């Protein structure tokens, strides 16, 4: 006797049991991180700033065109974690970067 509930997962947002493949597809789509131009970003990509940004706590401004190498994606699809030569632990919003 097979258990047919193996193919379904409980969705807390809707309060319903939904097909696992449907839920997985929605999560994959939501996990896509896109830059200001709509390009998909991935861990290790290099990005360029499209706007001058004042960095809180560092008393510094990153200029438009600054190259940021080796980004890391975060749980929030609107933010990326990265490093700059003078600023460690920098978090940038994806609306201000373009994939290089």
Domain boundaries, the chain: 1-30, 33-99
Task: Say if residue 30's pLDDT is above 70.
Answer: no
* Cα 13 from Cα 73, distance rounded (Å): 24
* Cα 100 from Cα 68, distance rounded (Å): 9
Looking at CATH, the fold of the domain delimited by 33-99 is given as: SH3 type barrels. (2.30.30)
Q: What is the pLDDT of residue 3?
A: 46
Q: What is the pLDDT of residue 13?
A: 78
24 or 16: which leads in pLDDT? 16
Task: Kindly report, residue by residue over 42-92, the tens digit of the pLDDT.
Answer: 999 999 999 999 998 888 899 999 999 999 998 888 999 998 888 888 999
């Amino acid at each position: 006797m097979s258990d047919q509930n193996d193919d379904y997962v409980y969705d807390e947002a809707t309060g319903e049991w939904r097909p696992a493949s449907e839920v997985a597809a929605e999560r994959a789509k939501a996990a896509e991180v896109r830059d200001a131009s709509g390009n998909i970003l991935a861990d290790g990509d290099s990005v360029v700033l499209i706007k001058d940004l004042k960095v809180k706590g560092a008393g510094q401004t990153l200029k438009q065109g600054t190259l940021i190498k080796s980004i890391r994606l975060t749980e929030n699809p609107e933010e990326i974690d990265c490093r700059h030569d003078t600023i460690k632990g920098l978090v940038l919003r994806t609306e201000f970067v373009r994939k290089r």
